[in-house]
Homo-oligomer: A and B are copies of this chain.
Amino acid sequence: MDTIFQHRTIRKYKSDPISDEILEKILSAASRASTTGNMQVYSIIVTRNEELKKQLWEAHFKQNMVLEAPVLLTFCADFNRFNKWCRLRKAEPGYDNFLSFFTAAIDALLAAQNAALEAEYHGLGICYLGTTTYMAKRIIEILQIPKGVVPVTTLVIGYPNENPPLTDRLPLRAIVHNETYNDFSEEEINQIYYDKENMPFYQELVKLNNTETLAQIFTEKRYTKKDNIAFSKALLDVLYQQGFMNNE
């Protein structure tokens, strides 16, 4: 459908507010997504307050769109509400483990994508913040998130103040496998990445970053092993802290 095929990530926003009516549509759309056993083990924190947004902006590596856009939606894997309900109904919940965290994360992410598409359908722009998992511990403090709840992604939402082209994508055969997984030969990798590596935009980026290859921008600048290990430890610590690693 058009909304899906016209998606582009927006990084510059107007300060125009989002009406309550449209925001409710976005949140309702999120609530219609598939959810494991209809447990709805996720939550959405809507932040519009300037002081809170400033704190979240700091947590999200000071990306300016966090301050510019009028609404932030923080999507959380959430067994807190469900556990409370169980305990009030003579049912002992066993949802303090890794599987339950991942199940709840799936719920949260499917809901997030519904919200993103509904927002775009109403002419709004969106951006996902990957920094949510890196900085989960700090976000938990800012948004006063209790045990049993872990933020997994954030949507920045607002009216676009830029009109970027569609983002390039690898050819479908890079992501689609027929019947079983068909692993890639060197020749196939070269073919799949040929167009991307020859786009003037990426060739310029390689020059600007002073690397020899495009791949090195990812491994040496953007997503380094050192950062990934630090953030892995931090995220696993958060899973322990929030009560999702009682796996025995």
Seen from chain A, the residues whose Cβ lies within 8 Å of a Cβ on chain B are 1, 3-5, 7, 9, 24, 27-34, 36-40, 42-49, 52, 76, 78, 80-82, 84-86, 88-95, 97-100, 102-103, 105-106, 109-114, 116-118, 121, 126-128, 130, 133-134, 142-146, 149, 152-153, 167-170, 172, 174-181, 183-184, 186, 189-190, 192-193, 212-216, 218-220, 222-226, 228-229, 231-233, 235-236, 247-248
Contact between chains at A177 and B44 (CB < 8 Å):
yes
Residue of B nearest to A140 (CB): B181
Question: Can you report 26 A-B residue pairs in the complex whose CB atoms are below 8 A from each other?
Answer: A1-B29, A4-B29, A4-B33, A4-B117, A5-B32, A24-B172, A32-B169, A34-B127, A37-B130, A38-B168, A80-B184, A81-B184, A89-B214, A90-B212, A91-B215, A91-B220, A94-B226, A97-B225, A102-B105, A106-B109, A110-B113, A111-B175, A113-B113, A117-B117, A143-B181, A146-B183
Contact between chains at A180 and B97 (CB < 8 Å):
no
Most buried by B among A143, A168, A169: A169
In the bound complex, residues from chain B placing their C-beta under 8 Å from that of A76 are 181
Known: A7-B34, A103-B130, A247-B232. A92 touches B225 (CB 8 A): yes
Contact between chains at A34 and B218 (CB < 8 Å):
no
Most buried by B among A27, A78, A117: A117
Known: A86-B219, A114-B113. A46 touches B179 (CB 8 A): yes
Most buried by B among A52, A94, A190, A224: A94
A213 CA to B94 CA, complexed, in Å: 16
Tell me the smallest distance from the CB of A210 to a CB of chain B, in Å. 14
Closest 3 CB pairs of A and B: A94-B225, A91-B215, A89-B215
Contact between chains at B190 and A88 (CB < 8 Å):
yes
Tell me the smallest distance from the CB of A39 to a CB of chain B, in Å. 7
Contact between chains at A174 and B37 (CB < 8 Å):
no
A222 CA to B100 CA, complexed, in Å: 13
In the bound complex, residues from chain B placing their C-beta under 8 Å from that of A112 are 110
